[in-house]
Structure 1
Amino acid sequence: MTKIPNPQLPALPDAITYGLYGYGWIGHLDEGWEAKAAWGRDGWDLGAWPYVIVAVFDDATAEVHAYATYVEGGINIKAYTTAEERDASIDEVAAFYWRNYNSGPEDLAPEGQPLAPHHRGPFSWSRLKVQTTQQRSQS
């Protein structure tokens, strides 16, 4: 198992045990961790599966919100007291891979510029539907 920086987080599978490909790692995530494939309003790729995977964890009661980034067998874990702080950090991870793998939004701001609101935060179908409906009603 991978060493966890916060004792309230469930263990993560050791990447070496499951090889360099992330699908095996995803399959062994403990309860509470969830791999996220999409980010931002429109659900752009998050990471570069199976080589780069982001998994999130939320325990609002314990005020622990974390994410783990799996990169070709290496794992980096960051924990925060709020989901908003965690998600802001994931925004930067998403933007890095969008820029370097050309897999993100066409209107992505250049490096060093702030992300647009629709590029930030977790993807959900309800978020996409609400924002798309609002845009249509404003046109």
Structure 2
Amino acid sequence: MSTTTMSHSLTADTAEAVTAPVLPADTTAGDGYDWMDTLEGTAWSVLPNWGSEGWDAGSWPYIILAVARTRDGNGELFGYGTYVEGDTSTYWFRSQDACFKAISAEVFFHWTSGQSDGPDNLPATAAGLPAKDRKPNPGWTD
């Protein structure tokens, strides 16, 4: 059974209005682990790691990334969302490459701030990461 709720949004890369699955808000009395349970039956799934070596994509239970992929009348949509200590945000993209670029910037921020484990010797910017570290871990399927 799907409990997907749709919302109106603008894509971050093309600025077009789309209707896409909403990332559930934190309505639990628990922590991020409890919030992850609310993704069950929705279009969203948790993204545990990122890059060639599968470094942390967040810092559970405080920082959690989730991803979704859907289709509308104009083609595919790629989304990522964040849960940060109970606050959620959602971003949609028409292009998977643009979505991966945004996720890379998000995880890079958490790696450089020491909030999650990432590669050693990080470059100055997320764009400076090797291409193999600006996409999902090869063991993760989307």
TM superposition score normalised by structure 1: 0.78
List structure 1 runs of 4+ shifted beyond 6 angstroms. Answer: none
Report the Cα distance in structure 1 between the residues aligned to 2:140 and 2:34, rounded to whole angstroms: 29
The structure where helix makes up a greater share of residues is 1
Amino acid at match of 1:35: V
The question of whether the paired residues in 2 share the 8 Å contact of 1:58 and 1:83 is answered with no
The question of whether the paired residues in 2 share the 8 Å contact of 1:39 and 1:119 is answered with yes
Unaligned runs of 5+ in 1: 128-139
Deviation at 1:107, TM superposition (A): 2.8
The structure where strand makes up a greater share of residues is 2
The C-alpha deviation readout for 1:5-48, integer Å capped at 9, x for no partner, is 43632233221x11362111111114321110100010000011
Query: Which protein is bigger by CA-based radius of gyration?
Result: 1
The question of whether the paired residues in 2 share the 8 Å contact of 1:20 and 1:51 is answered with no
Unaligned runs of 5+ in 2: 10-17
The C-alpha deviation readout for 1:51-109, integer Å capped at 9, x for no partner, is 01110011256421111111001111111001111111000001001111261101321
Q: Does 1:79 align with 2:89?
A: no
Report the Cα distance in structure 2 between the residues aligned to 1:71 and 1:3, rounded to whole angstroms: 22
Tell me the percent identity: 30
The question of whether the paired residues in 2 share the 8 Å contact of 1:54 and 1:67 is answered with yes
Aligned to 2:128: 114
TM superposition score normalised by structure 2: 0.76
